[in-house]
Chains A and B, each alone.
Chain A
Amino acid sequence: MPSITFIHHDSRAETVSANDGDSAMYTALLHGIDGITGECGGGAVCATCHVYVDDNWLGKVGAVGADEDELLEGVVSERLPNSRLSCQIKITEALDGLVLRLPERQV
């Protein structure tokens, strides 16, 4: 199972294992990671699963979709070049070791 490390805004790190095919958001909720809200449950509606992808992984998580790009305009914490919605990052073996940083706020 691929592992994902979530780094909280206060630098605390939590590493969890993910099911192949789940989204990063779903993995976070499954493991009770505070800092991912996921109000819409993965429907790409709410922009409350915002993450900053670690630079080393930016090339591997795929591109931002057009709808996601518009949603990212609505995130509460600052949008940065490495901002993504974690519901749109599908976990595969190729992402084993992925590092995602959490913003200060989601809502």
Chain B
Amino acid sequence: MVATVTTAPPHTTQVLSFGAVPNDASSQPVVHLDVDPFAMDFFADPHPTHEVLRDAGPVVYLDKWNVYAVARYAEVHAVLNDPATFCSSRGVGLSDFAKEKPWRPQSLILEADPPAHTRTRTVLNKVLSPAVMKQLRDGFAAAADAKVDELLERGSFDAVADLAEAYPLSVFPDAMGLQKEGRENLLPYAGLVFNAFGPPNKLRQDAIERSAPHQAYVQSQCQRENLAPGGFGACIHARVDTGDITADEAPLLVRSLLSAGLDTTVNGIGAAVYCLARYPEEFARLRSDLSLARNAFEEAVRYESPVQTFFRTTTRDVEISGCHVGEGEKVLMFLAAANRDPRRWADPERYDITRKTSGHVGFGSGIHMCVGQLVARLEGEVMLSALARKVASIEITGEVKRRYNNTLRGLESLPVTFTPA
């Protein structure tokens, strides 16, 4: 497929509003596409199909799963920013909680709408605030330096298991205040959660079939007595004492951080290392200006979009860019396609560590935008800074293998060799 060359001026965020009174007569027809965005061959290389989805129209219909979908930046951004019309309380996966029982107790933050969402979100915002990040920063940076030193000693290793997984595992569970035992459940549990947003395909069914021990671990680890003082988990439970949340709510909010706080950063850091290994000229720029570390991570999140998709459900009849969508319909948002939409981004296929990345939807946008984004950026920045100071080159030395998940995009294996600076 030949990519269309389009020059998009940066920062031209088209602001859309949704028609209050739909008018079928004047609506544009919605293009139906025979695309399964949860199939293995799609995961292997989603970008050409993302282009097809964007070019087919502002809204498309995917017959395979009976859902509407948006893949252009303007529509994805607009849907994310109208939570009254595009709700989360009926689930942010394919399953409609108005028709099906959720596979686990519903999230109090991800799968909630205002005003209920506002209260729980405020609590997690405070637990993961910029001031808290300031306190964590030195420890996270020292751990990143130590990890890179250890990997330089080894020389050759798997950048997924030994870096992208090992580094977050060395800082996040302790920051949460988790017990030492059972941490091996964390990544399988997160993989399960993100597979479960997808359709009832083999990935989802297999994950749920194997989920019992991981669910049991997480449920136990969310209880107050199992969380060390000073950690994110204990800070959430402390909000019970101030009356902000109830004792029943606290474990579910801890569960949100265990679900979304680890695998996402694993795939974010993995994406960044994979980018720097493939684009050595960008790694050279980073090495010559360490202040670019944070943006180099941010750009990797835009470029690879570790979280590829989320759904919303319409609360009313609505027109999206002239296309009519009825009430109670699932709308699939292709975050990854929006992040490479040439209507929004100049040269979107280029990994450019100096790009003005603000506005990308890799962390979402609006009221549900990733509550742990500051933790993710902190981990990403200090790791890329450590790599830039200590490593001269990152060479891919073996077969790169992809990991398959209904929502997360990342690698199973990335064999590399580090040359010391």
Chain A interfacial positions (CB closer than 8 Å to B): 29-32, 37-41, 43, 45-47, 67, 70-71, 73-75, 107
Contact = CB atoms under 8 A, between A and B. Distances in A.
B130 A47 contact: yes
B321 interface: no
A38 B13 CA distance: 14
B373 A45 contact: yes
28 contacts: A29-B11, A29-B358, A29-B359, A32-B10, A32-B356, A39-B358, A39-B373, A39-B377, A40-B363, A41-B358, A41-B365, A41-B369, A43-B365, A43-B367, A43-B369, A45-B125, A45-B369, A45-B371, A46-B374, A47-B130, A67-B122, A70-B131, A73-B131, A74-B129, A74-B131, A74-B132, A107-B294, A107-B381
Contacts of B133: 74
Contacts of B75: none
Contacts of A40: 363, 369, 373
Given A43-B369, A46-B374, A71 B358 contact: no
B298 interface: yes
B139 interface: no
A73 B133 CA distance: 11
Contact of A71 (B10, B130, B359): B130
Interface in B1-48: 10-11, 13
Interface residues of B, number: 27
B134 A30 contact: no
Nearest to A37: B358
B155 interface: no
A73 B130 contact: yes
Nearest to A38: B358
Contacts of A73: 129-131
Contacts of B129: 70-71, 73-74
Contacts, number: 56
B126 interface: yes
A107 B371 CA distance: 18
Nearest to A36: B358
Interface of B: 10-11, 13, 122, 125-126, 129-134, 294, 298, 356, 358-359, 363, 365-367, 369, 371, 373-374, 377, 381
The interface residues of chain B, by DSSP majority, are classed as: helix
Contacts of A43: 365-367, 369
B272 to A, nearest CB: 16
Contacts of A29: 11, 356, 358-359
Nearest to B122: A67
A40 B13 CA distance: 15
A29 B11 CA distance: 7
B354 to A, nearest CB: 11
Q: Which of B126, B130, B134, B367 has the most CB of A within 10 A?
A: B130
Given A40-B369, A73-B129, 13 more contacts: A39-B298, A41-B359, A43-B367, A43-B369, A45-B369, A45-B374, A46-B373, A46-B374, A67-B122, A67-B125, A70-B129, A71-B130, A107-B381
Contacts of B13: 30
Interface-central residue, B298, B358, B363, B365, by most chain A CB under 10 Å: B358
Nearest to B126: A70
Contacts of B298: 39
B51 to A, nearest CB: 24
A70 B133 CA distance: 13
A39 B363 CA distance: 10
Nearest to A105: B291
Contacts of A107: 294, 381
Contacts of B369: 40-41, 43, 45
A41 B358 CA distance: 6
Nearest to B368: A43
Contacts of B381: 107
A74 B11 contact: no
A40 B374 CA distance: 9
B76 to A, nearest CB: 13
A38 B359 CA distance: 9
A6 B11 CA distance: 18
For A29, A37, A41, A74, the residue with the greatest tally of chain B CB atoms inside 10 Å of its CB is: A41
Nearest 4 A-B pairs (CB), nearest first?
Answer: A74-B130, A74-B131, A47-B130, A73-B131
Nearest to A43: B369
Contacts of B10: 32
Nearest to B77: A41
Contacts of A71: 129-131
A41 B77 CA distance: 11
Contacts of A46: 130, 373-374
Nearest to A22: B15
A75 B130 contact: yes
Nearest to B125: A45
